[in-house]
Structure 1
């Protein structure tokens, strides 16, 4: 007990507080952990226990940190988690963009339901693809990578010493621009086939005006899209896997 009380120095308390904020920033913004299915109380408790577990890895303890510097350091720790989460959130946003494009082209935009992950209304097709993406991410030990990433940052970035460099900003801008290209590439087979079917239905209506597009063409288009989704979903998940692994590599290089 006395040894524990002796360890409660100003430097150790400040270091634990900053480490707790680093974990809080990670669990508050990282994909999967920011889900509505994970309560805030669970994320807070997980941040506290992980800070206790990783505290022996802390090699930098400031002994003369003022309250002003401690506040700035705490903000930078949260900013570290936010900026790191953007690298991964862009990948998940790309597949969300692809799924929304697919739903819109199929005419199933109105077929939406409450998404427990995002806490908003989302198309059924988008929810299925998003759940597959999360399952794939977990199969790649995404949750393990989070702890490895924090251990890596503790050895490269001292507590309170994070700076938003130009390299991180440049990568985020480039990745954000790439997000639209990746999302369109994932949805392109279905978008192209549906566009081709619309052209064919238009030609049929031009030659046969009595053709009822809503009664015949609309269900046929949805059926074709579902068949194509079943065929290309492995390719979509493979592209998502490659982009996620590239994001993991970028995090290790940037932080």
Structure 2
């Protein structure tokens, strides 16, 4: 009796590479992209999300390289997919790094440098204000459907930069590095109103201390600075979403430019 269902080694290799290589790129993106890469999201959920997306997108892919999965060329393609996914995730995470830098600048000016805690995401100590602004940025990211645009961009990446065994171009990495230089500039722009207000307040208290030495400026300086910083932070919150929304759009555009730059 002939076998009901038989699979050759070549057919099995075609099925495996059609799922595995897209899965590697998606898992690399999920492991580095904002929101998905949070420690609160378990590894099981990350792998499941990447696997479901790979199953959904595998039938839409064009012809894949005729390379055995377990070979030097197959390993090279896996490394390429890891690098592509990580580049996409890091380019998106730069906006959140900018917000966190703004929180660090503001926290130092408010005298909250001691108010820090262990952040499992970064593996180090993070100021409370920086973490607060990072959470607000995540809420804005969800409100503007950033997670859906990110998934759509990931699907589009297979059309812009299909899976191939050709080496990646170097111009895409230069674009990623140049985008990273905007982190400190954007964080400074976001925190500039608070920094300017607190510097002016500290200058006024310094002049007051020189004019009236008997006035204990150190006793009231910290509460005044803290209250002024909280008041300015409250004013900043209403402008946070309009500030971040074009940055998120620009980061998706930058992600597509990086993919174009990586094309061999």
Compute the TM-score of the two structures, normalised by the length of structure 2: 0.88
**CA displacement, residues 41-89 of structure 1 (integer Å, 9 cap, x when unaligned):** 2111222222112111121223344711000000000000111122112
- Say whether the 8 Å CA contact 2:99–2:187 is kept in structure 1: yes
d(CA) in 2 for partners of 1:217 and 1:169? 47
- 1:12 and 2:15 matched: yes
Shift of 1:110: 1.0
The residue matched to 2:181 in structure 1 has which SS? helix
The residue matched to 2:247 in structure 1 has which SS? helix
Moved more, 157-166 or 79-88: 157-166
Shift of 1:237: 3.2
The residue matched to 2:185 in structure 1 has which SS? helix
User: How many residue pairs get matched?
Assistant: 255
**CA displacement, residues 178-206 of structure 1 (integer Å, 9 cap, x when unaligned):** 22111111111111111111111111110
Q: 2:250 aligns with which of 224, 238, 246?
A: 246
d(CA) in 2 for partners of 1:181 and 1:211? 38
- Say whether the 8 Å CA contact 2:107–2:113 is kept in structure 1: yes
Structure 2 portions without partners, runs of 5+: 260-264
d(CA) in 2 for partners of 1:129 and 1:88? 16
Look up the match of 1:175: 179
Look up the match of 2:24: 21
d(CA) in 1 for partners of 2:226 and 2:6? 65
- 1:61 and 2:61 matched: no
Look up the match of 2:221: 217
d(CA) in 1 for partners of 2:258 and 2:182? 18
| Change beyond 3 A, Cα 1:85–1:32 | same
d(CA) in 1 for partners of 2:199 and 2:166? 48
Q: 2:130 aligns with which of 122, 126, 150?
A: 126
d(CA) in 1 for partners of 2:247 and 2:166? 26
Compute the TM-score of the two structures, normalised by the length of structure 1: 0.91
